[in-house]
């Protein structure tokens, strides 16, 4: 659980710069994932070719610069030396000016190429990112509900945000960087070789050296980073728990203990935090040191060679510049392997998600439900959420149009299972369900589901106006029809009392109206949809009595002339039911009318008894009161 | 930001040492081009190889000095940042422990969590960078300028122009991009919100066949996100090429201007080469500084959020804990004309509430949501302080008791059975660390929790996940009840704690509780009439007032609100 939590919270942690040596997530199938990702990129091959060309041009143009500059410096140096030797040497300023202008042009063109390459690349990567997000969101709608039984919302969300983001970052920065780095390294190498092979050799020695240094630091710091991450997880968990349940902490006088525990965790965190920070902070100076070492060696060797007249003075200057632009891309390439690893891991998760099984339409000639009367028949239905455990065995029942089925049982008994099968949110393993004599699997899922209307315990509303929420799913209906549905659902009155009436926007948590009001809105929505068969979950635990009465009335209205499946929490609903299904531990253990069930003296009878055990004198008193009231009316 | 500076005080020695080391580091970095210039000017010119090698060795020594310094600074910075953040985190946590519900409402628990975790991590990151760069960049810039000046004063304008241009680039890019960064964050939040809604409403969406509609809704935010991020990326991607161009042009400018000076013998070639490198270092320093100025506002938001918590004084102050152990209370709870409004609210939620809950009796509260039932019981442990009137326990104003003593006598069971991560046992012994095995079992038995605990393979040692997410609502409630029982208090508060139990368990539990709470005061909130009908006293609440009181029987006769509630719940029986 804590792991899932932390993945949900990840966006918050993204702010800080990624320390070097942080542990990298690795893909299980690196090659396969990269191949798949490449296939995605292949669609944009034209853009990639242009990017490649541009970045190569940019690199080449900027690489010529130092060499030309070096030549000018040599020229100057010669002039000075000649002068000190007493020979007159006229500096060709016209030549220098021409060269300078040429250089300015060269650098400008190089930067332009580099900018356009970036420009194109961001376009491509944003497009790909957009596609990824779109694919994932559409995928969600096509996946079987079953998939989400074992996944938290946070996990799915993290695909859309974190993972796609990682991929986008890599495409946007690293990919162009790889190309530029590689062209730069090759170009620089050529230029360096053209100056002096000996100096190039020395400069190249820097590469394995800095590579080794990097490895050394990364290896050591990774251990501490892992520890830091772990301790951070512990301490965050403790804080979360303590803050969100502070009333319990207070009333049990647990503050001192909480602080003691916190201090211990805090010490542990400190210890790993400074060590990991220190180790990762060593990276820069170490690489800098090795770079400087190369610089010094180039100076010495260059000076020596210049004395020997093997190279020119300007070449030293050029070589120093090349060295600088050589070590930088090498460093980048070193971190790119890490980036690729984490990108592959992210891409793998995205691809895994995208290739999850979908709800497939297996019908070739789908029947279209018209004029549904609402007769439902279950024939030997067998079902289990997992293959190992069958929860519904050989269930058969016939429900005539307009009849009511009540499903009862203790919490967690799986009362919604039948409903989920009926609407094909899950596939049964055996038997069949018929609606007006047609097997449910002979319809398209969408057509099948359009027969049903549903009011669930968790009233689902979205961030839009009340009007839009009621009209949800029946988008063609007029405002008048919406008002009529609201009146039928007894919510017109409270809506009109709201500040913006029907145009009030429900906020994200939809907590600007009460739980009961939310339920009334979903009832109005279902009334407007006018379904043939109804599914009602009538839990009203967090609703006050008056609203509850309204909800009951609205539901009664809704049920009229419709076949309905009611997930009952109060036994009052049940006495009207034509069929009661009693569920326990996922299984239907009894079925029949109330009369039959009471006579059989089974689980239902027991449940019934327990609810009304205290039925004694006082109960009679209530009845008296109520009867009197009725008479008054 | 400034308000948190005191957390750096204990580390001021380390910081001072860091600055000193940074000076040495900058000096040695800046010495290198000078040596190179010497090699060119003297070594090569006079063909003196031994001079070249001697200078080279010196350069290596200087480089070594620089790396030692910067590593040491890294160590000091890490210790300073991690240490001061440790202190800060600890102070923040301790502060929050003192907060009452008023402060929790003010900040919201989730915001307090991010402040203690995320915001502090942000600050730690910034501190390390600050120490390593904030001091270093100016030192390097000033040092570089002085060195450059020594080589040639007439080319200083190049440095000036370069720095101004650099700042222009940085300013343009960021003034374009930063406002969009914030926008991206809000759009990402909206993308998340839509996906979350889709996941939560999955069944509804499929039942109503509104997939297309939802996809269009997502596409809208997705497109917006793509457009804004594309803009930002394109602006940002101009930064690097512009920087490169600037640096290259500066080099060209130095050589160009320098060439004529060399020709006039006002400048040595080696010095010109050194000059180029100084200019680079100065530009780098300014680049570092501008990056810092972009980071600082972000961290200062975090710092401000933390400082806000630290400066908040808890609205409920504790009296000094008495040294004499408090005598065991009888447990008579008396509300005397209590009026209460939430901090900042204009209307009171409770008005003139008066009642007495006596030991050995059950006082039940009933009423619709928002009538103030939970608010009443939350006043007893002083989660909030009352606005007017007085609450007395055994005749003593609860404000005059220490919070510890007061709470020690209360057994509180909240609506949501809140559990901590650990085991079933650790959750039960949270009430009393010294509880014996027998006591634990007894409490679990009364709470009707024994059955499911024993059904678990590991029994009392079964793990409980954070927030108790791996046990059902009813099980959570039963464990929370068992926990309160173990405390063995004089006053029990059950805030709708039976709601997730089925009727049978509810009945059994109440029967078992009756025995246990025989001599205690019991305050009970419930939605179900069946749960409270045996109470000695029932208070019917509506809109923050007690509208009626009496026993079940009496209320059925006199109280309209109660009749209404009863009618809605007990109507099954009438047709039986």
CATH for B554:
3.40.50.300
Whether residues B107 and B164 share a domain: the answer is no
- Among A117, A150, A183, the domain boundary falls at A183
| Of A246, A425, A549, Cβ closest to residue B104 | A246
With respect to residue A163, please indicate whether it lies within any of the assigned structural domains. Answer: yes
Q: The domain containing residue A40 runs over which residues?
A: 1-8+26-183
What integer pLDDT is reported at residue B227 of this predicted model? 92
- Among A159, A183, A207, the domain boundary falls at A183
With respect to residue B33, please indicate whether it lies within any of the assigned structural domains. Answer: yes
Whether residues A45 and A148 share a domain: the answer is yes
- Residue A523 CA: distances (Å) to CA of A403, A404, A488, B519: 19, 17, 9, 48
Count how many domains chain A has: 3
**CA A381/CA A393 separation, integer angstroms:** 6
Task: State the alpha helices, DSSP H only, in B39-155.
Answer: 49-98, 101-107, 109-114, 120-129, 136-151
CATH for B3:
1.20.1560.10
Whether residues A65 and A137 share a domain: the answer is yes
**A263 contact residues in B (CB cutoff 8 A):** 90
Whether residues A53 and A137 share a domain: the answer is yes
Query: What are B484's two structure tokens?
Result: 């309160």
**A519 contact residues in B (CB cutoff 8 A):** none
Residues 495..534 of B with a Cβ closer than 8 Å to A: which?
Answer: 499-500, 502-504, 507, 527, 530, 533
Query: Quick check: A611 and B503 CB within 8 A?
Result: yes
Backbone phi, then psi, for A434, in 5-degree steps?
Answer: -115, 135
Q: Residue B55 pLDDT more than 80?
A: yes
Residues 428..487 of B with a Cβ closer than 8 Å to A: which?
Answer: 430-431, 465-467, 469-470, 472-474, 483, 487
CATH for A97:
1.20.1560.10
Backbone phi, then psi, for A2, in 5-degree steps?
Answer: -65, -30
**CA B43/CA B37 separation, integer angstroms:** 9
Beta carbons within 8 Å of B275's beta carbon, 6+ residues apart = B148, B151, B152, B155, B254, B258
**CA B521/CA B493 separation, integer angstroms:** 9
Expressed in percent and rounded to 5, the helix, strand and coil fractions of chain A are 65, 10, 25
Q: Does B360 touch chain A (CB under 8 A)?
A: no
Whether residues A2 and A143 share a domain: the answer is yes
Q: Residue B513 pLDDT more than 50?
A: yes
Q: Does A545 touch chain B (CB under 8 A)?
A: yes
**CA B123/CA B358 separation, integer angstroms:** 53
Count how many domains chain B has: 3
Q: Does B115 touch chain A (CB under 8 A)?
A: no
Whether residues B138 and B173 share a domain: the answer is no
Query: Quick check: B502 and A410 CB within 8 A?
Result: yes
Contact between B146 and B281 (Cβ < 8 Å) = no
Q: The domain containing residue B141 runs over which residues?
A: 1-149+296-314
With respect to residue B81, please indicate whether it lies within any of the assigned structural domains. Answer: yes
Whether residues A435 and A549 share a domain: the answer is yes
With respect to residue A584, please indicate whether it lies within any of the assigned structural domains. Answer: yes
Query: Quick check: B118 and A239 CB within 8 A?
Result: no
Edge-to-edge strand list for the sheet holding B388-393: B350-357, B333-340, B388-393, B396-397
With respect to residue A111, please indicate whether it lies within any of the assigned structural domains. Answer: yes
Q: Does B240 touch chain A (CB under 8 A)?
A: yes
Tell me the pLDDT of chain B averaged across its residues: 83
With respect to residue A388, please indicate whether it lies within any of the assigned structural domains. Answer: yes
**CA A61/CA A527 separation, integer angstroms:** 71
Q: Which of A94-98, B526-530, B562-566 tops mean pLDDT?
A: A94-98
| Of B200, B262, B570, Cβ closest to residue A619 | B570
CATH for A587:
3.40.50.300
**A612 contact residues in B (CB cutoff 8 A):** 572-573, 576
Whether residues B133 and B164 share a domain: the answer is no
**CA B182/CA A206 separation, integer angstroms:** 42
Closest among A180, A164, A146 to A424, alpha carbons compared = A146
With respect to residue A369, please indicate whether it lies within any of the assigned structural domains. Answer: no
What integer pLDDT is reported at residue B84 of this predicted model? 92
Our measurement of the distance from residue B288's CA atom to the centroid of its chain's CA atoms, rounded to an integer in Å, reads 30
Q: Residue B386 pLDDT more than 50?
A: yes
Contact between B124 and A232 (Cβ < 8 Å) = no
Whether residues A578 and A514 share a domain: the answer is no
Running along chain A, 633 residues long, what does each successive block of 10 average in pLDDT?
A: 34 36 64 83 86 85 84 80 72 82 90 89 88 86 76 73 80 75 84 85 78 76 79 83 80 84 90 85 78 79 82 81 74 70 82 81 68 81 76 80 80 72 82 83 80 77 83 82 83 79 73 73 84 75 64 76 78 75 76 80 72 45 47 48
With respect to residue B539, please indicate whether it lies within any of the assigned structural domains. Answer: yes
What integer pLDDT is reported at residue A17 of this predicted model? 37
Whether residues B213 and B111 share a domain: the answer is no
**CA B331/CA B392 separation, integer angstroms:** 10
**CA A92/CA B323 separation, integer angstroms:** 97
With respect to residue A344, please indicate whether it lies within any of the assigned structural domains. Answer: no
Determine which of A364-373, B175-184, B442-451, B489-498 has the lowest per-residue pLDDT on average.
Answer: A364-373
Chain A to chain B Cβ contacts (< 8 Å)? 471
Whether residues B487 and B341 share a domain: the answer is yes
- Among A524, A546, A575, the domain boundary falls at A524
- pLDDT tens per residue, range B317-349: 777 666 566 667 788 889 999 998 887 776 788
Whether residues A464 and A559 share a domain: the answer is no
CA atoms within 13 A of residue B490's CA, in its CB half-sphere: 19
Whether residues B356 and B302 share a domain: the answer is no
In this structure, how many other beta carbons lie within 10 angstroms of the beta carbon of residue B154?
A: 11
Q: Does A105 touch chain B (CB under 8 A)?
A: no
Whether residues B220 and B351 share a domain: the answer is no
Q: Does B148 touch chain A (CB under 8 A)?
A: no
With respect to residue A227, please indicate whether it lies within any of the assigned structural domains. Answer: no
**CA B258/CA A76 separation, integer angstroms:** 10
CA atoms within 13 A of residue A296's CA, in its CB half-sphere: 23
Whether residues A421 and A553 share a domain: the answer is yes
Query: What are A542's two structure tokens?
Result: 């967090």
Backbone phi, then psi, for B402, in 5-degree steps?
Answer: -75, 150
Whether residues A154 and A59 share a domain: the answer is yes
Whether residues A589 and A503 share a domain: the answer is no
From the CA of B505, how many Å to the nearest CA of chain A?
Answer: 9
Beta carbons within 8 Å of A274's beta carbon, 6+ residues apart = B78, B79, B81, B82, B83
Is residue B190 helix, strand or coil?
helix
With respect to residue B478, please indicate whether it lies within any of the assigned structural domains. Answer: yes
Question: Percentage of residues in chain B with pLDDT exceeding 90?
Answer: 6
Whether residues A476 and A562 share a domain: the answer is no
**A121 contact residues in B (CB cutoff 8 A):** 237
Is residue A584 helix, strand or coil?
strand
Whether residues B469 and B374 share a domain: the answer is yes
- Give the CA angle between residues A117, A120, A123 to the nearest 5°: 145
Determine which of A6-10, A107-111, B40-44, B197-201 has the lowest per-residue pLDDT on average.
Answer: A6-10
Nearest chain A residue (CA) to B416: A245
Whether residues B11 and B123 share a domain: the answer is yes
What integer pLDDT is reported at residue A150 of this predicted model? 66
Whether residues A509 and A547 share a domain: the answer is no
Whether residues B84 and B222 share a domain: the answer is no
**A412 contact residues in B (CB cutoff 8 A):** 472
From the CA of B60, how many Å to the nearest CA of chain A?
Answer: 7
Query: Quick check: B198 and A140 CB within 8 A?
Result: yes
Whether residues B425 and B497 share a domain: the answer is yes
**A545 contact residues in B (CB cutoff 8 A):** 368, 564-565, 568-569
With respect to residue B319, please indicate whether it lies within any of the assigned structural domains. Answer: no
With respect to residue A235, please indicate whether it lies within any of the assigned structural domains. Answer: no
Whether residues B134 and B159 share a domain: the answer is no
Residues 468..487 of A with a Cβ closer than 8 Å to B: which?
Answer: 472-473, 475
């Amino acid at each position: 659980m804590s792991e899932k939590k932390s993945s949900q919270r990840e966006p918050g942690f993204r702010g800080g710069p990624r320390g070097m040596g942080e542990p990298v997530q690795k893909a299980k199938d690196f090659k396969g994932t990269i191949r798949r990702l490449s296939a995605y990129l292949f669609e944009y091959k034209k853009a990639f070719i242009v990017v490649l060309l541009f970045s190569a041009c940019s690199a080449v143009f900027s690489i010529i610069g130092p060499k030309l500059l070096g030549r000018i410096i040599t020229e100057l140096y010669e002039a000075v030396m000649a002068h000190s030797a007493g020979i007159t040497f006229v500096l060709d300023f016209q030549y220098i000016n021409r060269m300078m202008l040429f250089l300015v042009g060269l650098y400008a063109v190089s930067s332009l190429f580099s900018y356009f390459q970036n420009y194109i690349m961001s376009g491509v990567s944003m497009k790909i990112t957009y596609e990824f997000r779109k694919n994932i969101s559409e995928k969600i709608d096509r996946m079987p509900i079953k998939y989400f039984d074992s996944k938290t919302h946070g996990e799915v969300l993290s695909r859309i945000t974190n993972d796609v983001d990682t991929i986008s970052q890599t495409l946007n920065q690293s990919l162009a960087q790889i190309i530029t780095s590689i062209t730069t390294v090759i170009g620089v190498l050529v230029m360096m070789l053209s100056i002096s092979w000996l100096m190039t050799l020395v400069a190249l020695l820097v590469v394995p050296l800095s590579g080794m240094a990097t490895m050394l630091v990364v290896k050591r710091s990774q251990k501490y980073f892992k520890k830091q991450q772990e301790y951070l997880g512990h301490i965050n968990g403790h804080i979360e728990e303590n803050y969100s349940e502070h009333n319990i902490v207070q009333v049990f006088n647990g503050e001192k203990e909480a602080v003691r525990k916190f201090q211990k965790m805090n010490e542990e965190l400190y210890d790993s935090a400074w060590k990991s920070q220190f180790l990762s902070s060593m990276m820069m100076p170490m690489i800098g040191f090795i770079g400087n070492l190369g610089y010094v060696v180039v100076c010495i060797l260059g000076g020596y060679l210049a004395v020997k007249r093997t190279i020119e003075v300007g070449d030293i200057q050029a070589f120093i510049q090349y060295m600088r632009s050589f070590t930088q891309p090498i460093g980048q390439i070193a971190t790119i392997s890490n980036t690729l690893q984490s990108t592959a891991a992210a891409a793998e998760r995205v691809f895994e998600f995208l290739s999850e099984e979908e709800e497939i339409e297996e019908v070739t000639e789908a029947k279209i439900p018209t004029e549904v009367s609402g007769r439902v028949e279950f024939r030997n239905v067998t079902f289990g959420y997992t293959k190992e455990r069958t929860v519904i065995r050989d269930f058969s029942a016939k429900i005539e149009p307009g009849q009511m089925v009540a499903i009862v049982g203790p919490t967690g008994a799986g009362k919604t299972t039948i409903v989920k099968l009926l609407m094909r949110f899950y596939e049964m393993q055996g038997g069949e369900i018929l609606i007006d004599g047609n097997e449910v699997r002979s319809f398209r899922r969408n057509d099948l589901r359009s027969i049903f209307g549903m009011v669930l315990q968790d009233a689902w509303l979205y961030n839009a106006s009340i009007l839009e929420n009621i009209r949800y799913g029946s988008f063609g209906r007029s405002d008048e029809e919406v008002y009529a549905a609201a009146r039928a659902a007894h919510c017109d009155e409270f809506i009109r009392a709201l500040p913006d009436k029907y145009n009030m926007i429900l906020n994200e948590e939809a907590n600007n109206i009460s739980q009961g009001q939310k339920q009334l809105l979903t009832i109005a929505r279902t009334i407007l949809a006018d379904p043939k068969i109804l599914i009602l979950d009538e839990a009203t635990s967090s609703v006050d009595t008056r609203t509850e009465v309204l909800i009951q009335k609205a539901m009664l209205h809704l049920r009229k002339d419709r076949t309905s499946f009611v997930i009952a929490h109060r036994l009052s609903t049940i006495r009207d039911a034509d069929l009661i299904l009693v569920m326990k531990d996922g299984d239907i253990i009894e079925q029949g009318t109330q009369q039959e069930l009471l006579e059989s003296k089974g689980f239902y009878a027991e449940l019934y008894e327990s609810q009304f055990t205290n039925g004694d004198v006082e109960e009679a008193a209530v009845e008296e009161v109520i009867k009197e009231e009725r008479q008054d009316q | 930001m400034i308000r948190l500076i005191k957390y750096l005080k204990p580390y001021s020695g380390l910081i001072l040492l860091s600055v000193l080391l940074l000076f040495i580091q900058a000096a040695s970095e800046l010495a290198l081009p000078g040596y190179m210039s010497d090699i060119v000017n003297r070594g090569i010119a006079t063909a003196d190889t031994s001079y070249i090698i001697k200078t080279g060795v010196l350069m290596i020594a200087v480089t070594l000095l620089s790396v030692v310094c910067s590593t040491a600074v890294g160590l000091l910075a890490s210790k300073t940042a991690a240490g001061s953040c440790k202190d800060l985190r600890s102070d923040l946590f301790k502060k929050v422990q003192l907060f009452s519900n008023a402060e929790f409402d003010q900040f919201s628990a989730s915001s307090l969590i991010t402040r203690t975790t995320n915001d502090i991590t942000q600050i730690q990151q910034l501190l390390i960078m600050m120490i390593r760069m904030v001091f270093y960049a100016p030192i390097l810039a000033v040092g570089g300028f002085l060195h450059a000046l020594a080589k040639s004063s007439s080319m200083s304008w190049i440095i000036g122009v370069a720095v101004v241009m650099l700042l222009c680039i940085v300013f343009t890019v960021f003034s374009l991009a930063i406002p969009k960064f914030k926008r991206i964050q809000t759009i990402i939040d909206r993308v998340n919100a839509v996906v979350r809604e889709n996941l939560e409403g999955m069944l509804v969406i499929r039942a109503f066949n509104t997939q297309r509609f939802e996809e269009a809704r997502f596409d809208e935010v997705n497109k917006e996100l793509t457009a804004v991020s594309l803009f930002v990326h394109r602006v940002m991607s101009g930064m690097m090429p512009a920087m490169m161009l600037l640096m290259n042009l500066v080099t060209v400018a130095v050589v160009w201007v320098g060439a004529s000076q060399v020709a006039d013998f006002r400048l040595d070639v080696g010095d010109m080469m050194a000059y180029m490198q100084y200019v680079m270092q100065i530009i780098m320093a300014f680049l570092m500084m501008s990056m810092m100025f972009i980071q600082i506002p972000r961290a200062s938001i975090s710092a401000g959020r933390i400082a806000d918590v630290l400066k908040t004084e808890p609205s409920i102050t504790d009296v000094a804990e008495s040294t004499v152990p408090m005598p065991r209370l009888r447990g008579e709870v008396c509300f005397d004309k209590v009026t209460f409004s939430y901090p900042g609210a204009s209307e009171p939620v409770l008005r003139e509430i008066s009642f007495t809950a006596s030991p050995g009796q059950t006082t039940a509260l009933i009423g619709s949501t928002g009538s103030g039932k939970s608010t009443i019981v939350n006043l007893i442990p002083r989660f909030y302080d009352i606005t007017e009137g007085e609450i007395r326990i055994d005749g003593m104003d609860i404000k005059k008791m220490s919070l510890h003593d007061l709470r020690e006598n209360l057994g509180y069971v909240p609506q949501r059975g809140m559990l901590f991560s650990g085991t079933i046992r650790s959750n039960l012994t949270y009430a009393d660390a010294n509880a014996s095995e027998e006591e634990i079992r007894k409490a679990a038995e009364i709470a009707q929790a024994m059955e499911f605990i024993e059904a678990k393979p590991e029994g009392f040692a079964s793990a409980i996940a954070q927030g108790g997410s791996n046990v059902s609502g009813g099980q959570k409630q039963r464990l929370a009840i068992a926990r309160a029982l173990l405390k063995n208090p004089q006053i029990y508060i059950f805030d709708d704690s039976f709601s997730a139990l089925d009727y049978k368990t509810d009945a059994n539990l109440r029967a078992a509780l009756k025995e246990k709470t025989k001599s205690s005061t019991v305050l009970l909130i419930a939605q179900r009439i069946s749960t409270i009908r045996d109470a000695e006293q029932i208070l019917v609440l509506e809109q923050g007032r007690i509208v009626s009181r009496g026993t079940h029987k009496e209320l059925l006769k006199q109280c309209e609100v109660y009749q209404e509630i009863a009618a809605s719940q007990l109507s099954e029986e009438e047709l039986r």
